[in-house]
Amino acid sequence: MNARMKRLMQLLEQEKIDAVLVAQRYNIRYFSGFTGDTAYLYISKKRQVLMTDSRYTVWAKEEVKDFEIFQTDRAVSYQEKTRQLAEEEKIQCIGFENHAMIYSDVQAFRAKLPDIAWLELDKKLERLRCIKDASELECIAKAEAIGDHAFSHILKELCVGMTEKEAAWEIECAMRKYGAEGLSFETIAVFGKRTAMPHAVPGDARLQKGDFVVMDFGCIYHGYCSDMTRTVVMGEASGRQKDIYETVLRAQLAALSAIKSGMRCCDADAAARNQIEKAGYGQYFGHGLGHSVGLFIHEFPALSPKEEMVLQEGMTETVEPGIYIPDFGGVRIEDLVVVTRNGCENLTKSPKELIQL
Ligand SMILES: [Mn+2]
């Protein structure tokens, strides 16, 4: 039994459940290796079954080694197969992913298995993914390196008159060219006053001299996500732009030098937030400092002011403070790090001193 499955077995013990029904696609991938998007896992102490339909059975047999693979059809649905397994194993309680299943599917399982006690797992399986192993970290580092390449590329392409959509497309093309299999989220490339919106969608605005350019992007490599943000200025930066940029950079560097295993997530957030507050921009930093990254772009735990969880070796975190001033513009600088015993390893290698194009 591999380390991931051992942690899952411990969860069964702790929660006093006989089996889990896994529906969330990244959890399915994490525990079984199956990369398709339509399946359920039934996992008890004795049985590990991947249920999927005829579109995916050949695929599943190639990828999944330690599970029985069952093909559902009109006669034996996911619910009916689960009922049969539960009956054969004489089980009483199944944990299910209440946050990842649609309501009508939950109702269908309950209707077919009326005597089973269904326990809501919330995000307990996601929590089992928070410490990354060496193979996961390798993929995340590679994905982040692709992002670094894309950033060097876009610096050469940005020019007055280019639209936000064109800039986003250049970044995306470069990531694909350097080996990305997809995007980990919709690319953000915004100019000028629109940079005051932390998550704006690229539009038809054209780049002008003196604009801030915020670029937040990431890709997927072997299933794992990357995430980085850089802000540059087209032409010469104004005094106010420089002040905001230097404040965000100081905050980011303060957090990077503070982060290490044993530190609470909220304290990492505070390390950056204090710098921004001290400079008088506290009210313009509305979001948390960062989030973990893995198979999904926003993983647990977050570096938020409310998160008291302690960082551990092997966790990944983004470190992305920002200052956003309505009707003026914003700056965000984001790196992706791996928590180590005495500090953190920065996977993002792109330069951070203010670039004036
Ligand atoms: Mn991020």
CATH of the domain at 161: 3.90.230.10
CA of 185 to the centre of ligand 1 (A): 9
Look at residue 249 and tell me if it is in a domain: yes
Helix/strand/coil for 195: helix
Q: Are residues 161 and 307 in the same domain?
A: yes
Look at residue 352 and tell me if it is in a domain: no
Query: Each residue of 23-59: pLDDT tens digit?
Result: 999 999 999 999 999 999 999 999 999 999 999 999 9
Look at residue 29 and tell me if it is in a domain: yes
CA of 140 to the centre of ligand 1 (A): 13
Q: Are residues 138 and 104 in the same domain?
A: no
Q: Which residues contact 277 (CB under 8 A, 6 or more apart)?
A: none
Q: Are residues 240 and 146 in the same domain?
A: yes
Look at residue 351 and tell me if it is in a domain: no
From 127, 142, 173, give the residue that closes a domain: 127
pLDDT, residue 280, reads 98
pLDDT at 67 over 90: yes
CA of 20 to the centre of ligand 1 (A): 31
Q: Are residues 92 and 210 in the same domain?
A: no
CA of 279 to the centre of ligand 1 (A): 23
Q: Are residues 322 and 209 in the same domain?
A: yes
pLDDT at 255 over 90: yes
Percent of the chain with pLDDT over 90: 99
CA of 101 to the centre of ligand 1 (A): 25
CA of 177 to the centre of ligand 1 (A): 22
CA of 224 to the centre of ligand 1 (A): 14
Look at residue 9 and tell me if it is in a domain: yes
From 127, 153, 170, give the residue that closes a domain: 127
CA of 334 to the centre of ligand 1 (A): 7
Q: Are residues 206 and 329 in the same domain?
A: yes
Query: Each residue of 238-250: pLDDT tens digit?
Result: 999 999 999 999 9
Q: What token pair was written down for 14?
A: 């702790």
- Residue 1: pLDDT band (50, 70, 90) is confident
Q: Average model confidence (pLDDT) for the chain?
A: 98
Q: What is the mean pLDDT of residues 314-327?
A: 98
Look at residue 294 and tell me if it is in a domain: yes
Q: Are residues 270 and 296 in the same domain?
A: yes
Look at residue 355 and tell me if it is in a domain: no
CB 32 within 8 A of CB 52: no
CATH of the domain at 10: 3.40.350.10
Look at residue 264 and tell me if it is in a domain: yes
The boundaries of the domain holding residue 68 are 3-127
Q: Are residues 121 and 170 in the same domain?
A: no
Q: Are residues 190 and 68 in the same domain?
A: no
CA of 258 to the centre of ligand 1 (A): 19
From 127, 151, 182, give the residue that closes a domain: 127
Query: Each residue of 111-150: pLDDT tens digit?
Result: 999 999 999 999 999 999 999 999 999 999 999 999 999 9
CA of 266 to the centre of ligand 1 (A): 17
**Token pair 């899952």: residue:** 8
Segment holding 136, helix H or strand E:
helix 134-157
CA of 291 to the centre of ligand 1 (A): 7
Q: Identify whether 301 is preceded by a cis peptide bond (ω within 30 of 0).
A: yes
CA of 200 to the centre of ligand 1 (A): 14
CA of 173 to the centre of ligand 1 (A): 20
CA of 157 to the centre of ligand 1 (A): 23
Q: What is the mean pLDDT of residues 332-344?
A: 98
pLDDT, residue 197, reads 97
Q: Are residues 278 and 176 in the same domain?
A: yes
Count how many domains the chain has. Answer: 2
Percent of the chain with pLDDT over 70: 100
Please state whether the predicted TM-score (pTM) of the whole model is above 0.85. Answer: yes
Query: Each residue of 182-235: pLDDT tens digit?
Result: 999 999 999 999 999 999 999 999 999 999 999 999 999 999 999 999 999 999
CA of 149 to the centre of ligand 1 (A): 18
Q: Are residues 114 and 221 in the same domain?
A: no
Query: Which residues have a beta carbon within 5 Å of ligand 1, which is an ion?
Result: 227, 318
Q: Are residues 33 and 152 in the same domain?
A: no
CB 20 within 8 A of CB 5: no
pLDDT, residue 344, reads 98
